[in-house]
């Protein structure tokens, strides 16, 4: 059995960031990743791999819940089981969690996060992302985004900014196709530290204060002085529940699962562009929602896509657990709070349709039917210039979080699991509340926080 100071389970957004931070501090680390090393470029960086963004086309896609519970967390919601995880698929949107949601986080974590532009962890990550992209994240990506920002501001949304994205436009490939990439922390992890096709199954705390990490099938194991679980919101809980049962430590029977509440509308507009233009038009604390105005170009036509993303609070209406074989299953629906957010989003979406001069705003306020995005796009193409509404099922945003909240019954406010040896958890799974912001800026910052705490205790 190999001895190692720190083992990180999972190599996605959180695992990559934790491992990169530990490696920067000179601590030997090993990253155990269930999936293969299918290359470390972002899927959009090569025209031939862009199709992998569709889970149905991606051999590395693995659903969270099988059979799918439907309608939420359906069979298209899951992990990308490969080195880099979903950090090789994301769109790069970087927003801090709003103060109204952070009030429910432990004070020590809130203070360490600080804010973008400050000296805390949000500030450090923001600076690193600006170094990587080679531009300030609040400057437009291109002329089209700049024009969209001017339009939105001139229509009564004077506080609008570009949507901060850690994205680099890579330009034309020889076939004339555009490509882009979003930042991935896995680039900062020494290649020799990563073991691929190493699905962790058991974590066994030893009396000497170490943890034995065993691969599925019992073929291999390593012994570590600290283990950081970065296997995603569902699988972190699965590994912990298994370790708890094995060690005789009480673990919860069910776990919260939270995604974002999204409704929007699309309208066909002239003009296709190489890369989506995205403007953050509204940040509404009362509606616990942000609204993005985007122009995307697909199949030869431009598409104006205006969407509100709201906070889902952890609640008994949205939970998962495990069957006797340890397979995850979930019961997910909208709570009263969720319905209130969705109701307020109607007004925000209607106001933007009216302000942007797109027909159909009044229908949005009364709409009963919020079909999926593809249906809305077909409707929009049949009636150019008219808003066609859509709604997203829970799970489809890939923002699942809040199963093992910091400062909660299972994980303390340093990220350490209570009563199970030197086991830590990182990633969206430890958010106490998700706010309306996309999770990854916070995931990257929190991964540094957990890494700091691991280093302190080693
Ligand atoms: C298309 C798309 C667009 C997105 N856009 C945005 C965006 O613009 N902004 C934003 O903030 N977020 C975005 N996200 C969400 C973001 O990517 C996720 O929130 C983030 O990747 C989650 O990080 P994680 O480390 O928890 O999980 P992941 O990145 O999924 O990594 C988990 C890793 O753990 C591995 N693993 C699981 N179980 C085991 C095991 N037992 N043993 C070993 N390894 C294991 C998995 O194979 C995987 O590699 C997007 C996601 C997708 C798919």
The response to whether residue 91 sits with its C-beta less than 6 Å from ligand 1 reads yes
Is residue 124 situated within a structural domain? no
Do both 311 and 384 map to the same domain? yes
- Residue 338 phi/psi, 5-degree rounding, is -60, -45
Give the chain's domain count: 2
Exposed / middle / buried, residue 329 (Cβ in 10 Å: 0-12, 13-18, 19+) = middle
Q: Do 325 and 435 reside in the same domain of the chain?
A: no
- Domain-embedded: residue 130: no
CA of 377 to the centre of ligand 1 (A): 27
Q: Hey, whose CA ends up nearest to atom 2 of ligand 1?
A: 90
Amino acid 164: pLDDT: 98
Torsion angle in degrees (nearest 10) through CA of 95, 399, 150, 139: 40
Contacts of 329 (CB under 8 A, 6+ apart): 65, 69, 320, 321, 322, 323
Residue 275 covered by a domain:
yes
- Amino acid 300: pLDDT: 61
Same domain for 96 and 225, yes or no, is: yes
Q: Which ligand 1 atom is at minimum distance from the Cα of 235? A: 38
Which ligand 1 atom lies nearest to the CA of residue 79? Answer: 30
Residue spans of the chain under pLDDT 70: 172-177, 271-274, 298-301
| Alpha carbons 158 and 151: distance in angstroms, whole number | 10
From 94, 197, 231, give the residue whose CB has the most ligand 1 atoms within 8 Å, as the site to mutate: 231
Whether 350 and 266 share a structural domain: yes
Q: Are residues 197 and 173 in the same domain?
A: no
Q: Is the CB of 81 under 6 A from ligand 1?
A: yes
Q: Classify each residue of 158-174 as buried b or exposed e, where b means 16 or more C-beta atoms within 10 Å of its C-beta.
A: eebbbbbbbbbebeeee
Q: Is residue 56 domain-shared with residue 165, that is, in the same domain?
A: no
State whether the beta carbon of 86 lies less than 6 angstroms from ligand 1: yes
Mutual orientation of helices 440-457 and 13-24 as an angle, nearest 10°?
Answer: 40
Ligand 1 atom nearest to CA at 14:
25
- Residue 175 to residues 46, 48, 51, 91, 181: CA-CA distances in angstroms? 11, 11, 16, 23, 18
Distance (angstroms) between ligand 1 centre and the Cα of 85 equals 5
Of ligand 1's listed atoms, the one at least distance from the Cα of 165 is 8
Domain that holds residue 357: 137-180+259-391
Query: Given 370, 391, 412, which residue is the final one in a domain?
Result: 391
Ligand 1 center to residue 12 CA distance, Å? 5
Nearest CA to ligand 1 atom 47: 81
- With a 6 Å cutoff on the Cβ, whether 427 touches ligand 1 is yes
Task: Decide if 407 is inside a domain.
Answer: yes
Q: Give the pLDDT confidence of 88-130 residue by residue, as tens digits.
A: 999 999 999 999 999 999 999 999 999 999 999 999 999 999 9
Q: Supply the pLDDT for residue 274.
A: 65
Atom of ligand 1 nearest to the CA of 201: 41
Q: Are residues 88 and 237 in the same domain?
A: yes
> What's the gap in Å between 447 CA and the centre of ligand 1?
13
Q: Which atom of ligand 1 is nearest to the CA of 233?
A: 26
Decide whether any atom of ligand 1 lies within 6 Å of the 35 Cβ. yes
Same domain, 284 and 359: yes
Same domain, 223 and 306: no
Contacts 24+ apart (CB under 8 A), 112-118: 112/449, 112/452, 113/442, 113/445, 113/446, 113/449, 116/441
d(CA 52, ligand 1 centre) in Å: 14
Task: For ligand 1, atom 49, name the residue with the nearest CA.
Answer: 85
Could you tell me if the CB of 125 is within 6 A of ligand 1? no
- CATH number of the domain to which 416 belongs: 3.50.50.60
Is residue 127 in a domain?
no
**Token digits of residue 13:** 């957004």
Long-range contacts from 148-151, C-beta under 8 angstroms, 24+ separation: 148/277, 148/278, 148/279, 148/293, 148/295, 149/279, 151/356
How far, in Å, from the CA of 79 to the mean position of ligand 1? Answer: 6
Domain edge (last residue) among 362, 391, 420: 391
HEC letters along the chain? CEEEEEEEECCCHHHHHHHHHHHHCCCCEEEECCCCCCCCCCHHHCCCCHHHHCHHHCCCEEECCCCCCCCCCCCCCEEECCCCHHHHCCCCECCCCCHHHHCCCCHHHHHHHCCCCCCCHHHHHHHHHHHHHCCCCCCCCCHHHHHHHHHHHHCCCCCCEECCECEEEEEECCCCCEEEEECCHHHHCCHHHEECCCCEEEEEECCCCCEEEEEHHHCCEEEEEEEEECCCHHHHHHHHHHHHHHHCCCCCCCEECECEEEEEEEEEECCCCCCCEEEEEEEECCCCEEEEEEEEEECCEEEEEEEEEEECCCCCCEEEEECCCCCEEEEECCCHHHHHHHHHHHHHHHHHHHHCCCECHHHHHHCCCCCCHHHHHHHHHHCCCECEEEECCCCCCCCCECCCCECCCCECCCCEECCCCCEEECCHHHCCCCCCCCCHHHHHHHHHHHHHHHHHHC
pLDDT score at 218 = 81
- Going from the Cα of 352 to the center of ligand 1, the distance in angstroms, rounded, reads 31
Look at ligand 1, atom 29, and give the residue with the nearest C-alpha.
12
Check pocket membership of 398 for ligand 1, CB cut-off 6 A.
yes
Q: In terms of domains, do 245 and 266 share one? A: no
DSSP 64: S
Q: Would 253 be classed as within a structural domain? A: yes
Which residue, by CA, sits nearest to atom 27 of ligand 1? 232
Among 391, 425, 442, residue at a domain's last position: 391
Of all helices (H) and strands (E), which one includes residue 388? strand 388-391
- Ligand 1 neighbourhood includes 96 CB (under 6 angstroms): no
- Tell me the two tokens of residue 306: 């205006």
Does residue 60 line the site of ligand 1, with CB under 6 A?
no
- Whole-angstrom distance, CA of residue 6 vs CA of residue 22: 9
Look at residue 177 in the predicted model and tell me its pLDDT: 65
Mutate to test the pocket of ligand 1, among 14, 232, 397 (most ligand atoms within 8 A of CB): 232
- Both 194 and 251 in one domain: the answer is yes
């Amino acid at each position: 059995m190999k001895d190692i100071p720190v083992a990180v389970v999972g190599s996605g957004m959180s695992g990559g960031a934790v491992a990169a931070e530990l490696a920067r501090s000179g601590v030997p680390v090993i990253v155990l990743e269930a999936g293969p090393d299918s290359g470390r470029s972002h899927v959009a960086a090569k025209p031939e791999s862009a199709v992998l963004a569709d889970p149905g086309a991606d051999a590395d896609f693995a659903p969270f819940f099988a059979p799918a519970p439907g309608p939420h967390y359906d069979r298209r919601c899951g992990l990308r089981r490969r080195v880099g995880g979903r950090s090789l698929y994301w769109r790069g949107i970087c927003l801090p969690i709003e103060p109204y949601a952070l009030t429910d986080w432990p004070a020590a974590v809130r203070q360490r996060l600080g804010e973008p532009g400050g000296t805390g962890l949000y500030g450090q990550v923001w600076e690193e992302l600006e170094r990587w992209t080679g531009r300030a994240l609040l400057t437009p990506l291109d002329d089209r985004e700049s024009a969209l920002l001017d339009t939105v501001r001139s229509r009564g949304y004077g506080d609008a900014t570009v949507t901060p994205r850690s994205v680099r436009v890579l330009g034309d490939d020889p076939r004339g196709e555009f490509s882009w990439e979003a930042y991935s922390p896995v680039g900062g992890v020494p290649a020799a530290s990563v073991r691929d096709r190493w699905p962790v199954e058991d974590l066994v705390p030893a009396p000497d204060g170490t943890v034995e990490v065993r691969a599925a099938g019992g073929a291999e194991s390593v012994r570590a002085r600290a283990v950081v679980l970065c296997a995603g919101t569902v699988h972190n809980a699965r590994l912990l529940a298994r370790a708890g049962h094995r060690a005789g430590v009480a673990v919860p029977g069910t776990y919260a699962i939270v995604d974002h509440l999204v409704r929007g509308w699309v309208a066909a507009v002239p003009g296709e562009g190489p890369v989506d233009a995205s403007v953050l038009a509204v940040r509404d604390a009362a509606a616990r929602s942000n609204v993005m105005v985007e122009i995307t170009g697909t199949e030869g036509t431009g598409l104006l896509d205006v969407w509100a993303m709201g906070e889902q609070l952890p609640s008994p209406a949205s939970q998962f657990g495990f069957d006797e074989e340890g397979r995850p299953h979930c019961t997910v629906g909208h709570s009263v709070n969720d319905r209130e957010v969705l109701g307020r989003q109607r007004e925000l979406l209607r106001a933007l349709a009216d302000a942007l001069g797109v027909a159909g705003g009044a229908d949005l306020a009364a709409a009963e039917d919020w079909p999926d995005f593809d249906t809305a796009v077909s409707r929009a193409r049949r009636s150019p210039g008219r808003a066609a509404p859509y709604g997203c099922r829970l799970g489809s945003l890939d923002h699942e979080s809040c199963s093992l909240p910091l400062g909660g019954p299972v994980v303390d406010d340093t990220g350490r699991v209570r009563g199970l040896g030197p086991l830590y958890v990182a990633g969206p799974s430890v958010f106490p509340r998700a706010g309306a912001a996309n999770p990854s800026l916070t995931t990257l910052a929190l991964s540094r926080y957990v890494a700091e705490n691991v280093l302190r205790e080693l």
